Structure 1
Amino acid sequence: MVFITPRLSVPDEELHESFVRSSGAGGQNVNKVATAVELRFSITNNWTLPYDVKQRLTKLGGRRVTQEGELVLFVQTHRTQEMNRKAALARFVELVQKAAAPPPPPRIATKPTKGAVRRRLEGKAIRSTVKSNRKRPEDTDEL
């Protein structure tokens, strides 16, 4: 059982891990040891997460969610298989925790106060006069 929050948990049977060889440089073990972890979790076939958490998890997953509604996390940051497993599980828990958090309330648009509008316009007028005073005086031939 993977515990996400005090009220949410995911059974181990719903997480599927597969191990593949990591890409990149790796020394002598690069062609022998499968250290990279691919963690798969089916969002659509899950029965423990609430519907709204599934929706947010699908949106948060982005490109990591397949057409079939399966979340795929690929981890190859560490040199050992066990460390990569722990990192993949930590990423999964963090992602589901973000999805389980309630969304922020919608922002309500407000109008600026009359005093704020007045102060802004006064500041603009002052700035305008400062800038216009920087100009060269115009040539006026009044002789």
Structure 2
Amino acid sequence: MGEGGAVDGDLVVNRRVRIPAAELHERFSRSSGPGGQGVNTTDSRVELSFDLARSPSVPEDLRERALERLAGRLVEGTLTVAASEHRAQLRNRAAAAERLRSQLAAAFAPAPAQRRPTRPTRGSQRRRLETKRQRSDVKRLRRSTDD
């Protein structure tokens, strides 16, 4: 598979979102770092791109949430992740797919429930004030009496 091709299988993000391979675009380039002579000849670095803003696979409510949460990472509505930590292109492809899947899953996740404020119990208030009184006494007793 060459420049601009798609990955081999669909990317399952969660129960509601399955991204077909045709919507994912890969780009390969040479990795930097260790690898000996092979690093100069193999295109093992992988960039995986997904056009979130125009994808028909993402429900509208999830798309809006993800576009808002990933705003700093998107370039014209497209999310791109790169992987070059492995020497083999196949392992970098899998790493990039997993990175994309986890970022999308986090962006699609619902917001955590709002914390319901609670009042301190009478006992906890009493203990707090008693501790403050004891600390005040300790500090008062440490003061010099040479006034």
TM-score band by shorter chain is 0.7 to 0.9
- Letter paired with 2:113: P
TM-score by length of 1: 0.82
Larger radius of gyration: 1
Correspondence 1:58 to 2:67: yes
Correspondence 1:99 to 2:107: yes
Instruction: Return 41-50 or 81-90, whichever deviates more.
Output: 41-50
Aligned to 1:88: 96
- Letter paired with 1:69: G
Aligned to 2:18: 9
Change (3 A) 1:83 1:99: same
TM-score by length of 2: 0.81
Instruction: Return 38-47 or 123-132, whichever deviates more.
Output: 123-132
Q: How far apart are the structure 1 equivalents of 2:33 and 2:67?
A: 30
Q: Secondary structure at the match of 2:46?
A: strand
Displaced runs of 4 or more, over 6 A: none
Q: How far apart are the structure 2 equivalents of 1:118 and 1:27?
A: 69
- Whether the 8 Å CA contact 1:74–1:88 is kept in 2: the answer is yes
> Which ranges in structure 2 are unaligned for 5 or more consecutive residues?
1-9
Displacement of 1:32 after TM fit?
1.1
Q: How far apart are the structure 2 equivalents of 1:33 and 1:107?
A: 52
Aligned to 2:4: none
Aligned to 1:21: 30
Q: How far apart are the structure 2 equivalents of 1:26 and 1:64?
A: 29
Aligned to 1:128: 136
Corresponding pairs, count: 138
| Coordinate RMSD, CA, aligned | 2.1
Aligned to 1:46: 55
Change (3 A) 1:60 1:29: farther
> Which ranges in structure 1 are unaligned for 5 or more consecutive residues?
none
- Whether the 8 Å CA contact 1:39–1:74 is kept in 2: the answer is yes
Q: How far apart are the structure 2 equivalents of 1:109 and 1:70?
A: 39
